Amino acid sequence: MNTDLIIIGAGPGGYETAVRAAKAGLQVVVVEKEHLGGTCLNAGCIPTKCLCHSAEEIEALKNSNIEMAAPSILQFFHSSILRKNEVVEKLKAGVAQLMKTPGITLVEGEARFIDQHTVAVDDEQYEAKNIIIATGSRTKFLPIPGAHAEGVVTSTEILNLDHLPQRLAIIGGGVIGLEFASIFRSFGVEVTVIEFCKEVLPNFDRDLAKRLRTSLKKRGIEFHVGAAAKEIHEGSPLTVDFEEKGKTQSVEADLVLMAVGRAANLESLNLADVGIETTPRGIAVDEHMQTNVPGIYAIGDVNGLMQLAHAASAQGKVALKKIISEERRVKSEEFATALAQEEKSNLNSSLSIIPSAVFTVPEAAMVGQTEEQLTEAGIEYKAHKAFYRANGKALAMEADDGLVKILTDAEGRILGCHILGAHASDLIHEATLAMRLGATIHDLADTVHAHPSLSEILLAAAEA
For residue 296, the SS3 value is strand
Note the helical H segments in 44-101: 45-63, 70-98
To 10 degrees, the CA torsion angle through 385, 389, 391, 393?
140
Q: Which of 224, 384, 442, 451 is catalytic?
A: 451
User: How many of the other CB atoms lie within 10 Å of CB of 54?
Assistant: 20
Cα 200 from Cα 134, distance rounded (Å): 29
Cα angle 232, 234, 224 (rounded to 5 degrees) comes to 30
Judge whether 451 counts as a catalytic residue. Answer: yes
Beta bridge partners of 239: 233, 252
Cα 142 from Cα 362, distance rounded (Å): 28
Cα 77 from Cα 318, distance rounded (Å): 41
Q: How far is CA 89 from the centre of its chain?
A: 20
Phi, psi of 97 (to 5 degrees): -65, -40
User: How many of the other CB atoms lie within 10 Å of CB of 33?
Assistant: 16
For 87-99, b where at least 16 C-beta lie within 10 A, e where not — what string?
bbeebbeebeebb
Contacts of 257 (CB under 8 A, 6+ apart): 152, 153, 154, 155, 158, 168, 169, 170, 171, 172, 177, 180
Question: What are the angstrom distances between the C-alpha of 463 and each of 367, 384, 399?
Answer: 19, 8, 22
Cα 317 from Cα 9, distance rounded (Å): 15
- Long-range CB contact pairs, 60-63, < 8 A, 24+: 63/398
Beta bridge partners of 290: 297
Query: Are β-strands 190-195 and 278-279 bridged in parallel, bridged antiparallel, or unpaired?
Result: unpaired
Nearest to 224 by CA among 201, 192, 256: 192
DSSP state of 8: E
Nearest to 53 by CA among 394, 367, 420, 363: 363
Cα 283 from Cα 264, distance rounded (Å): 8
Cα 364 from Cα 421, distance rounded (Å): 6
Phi, psi of 224 (to 5 degrees): -130, 100
Catalytic annotation, residues:
451
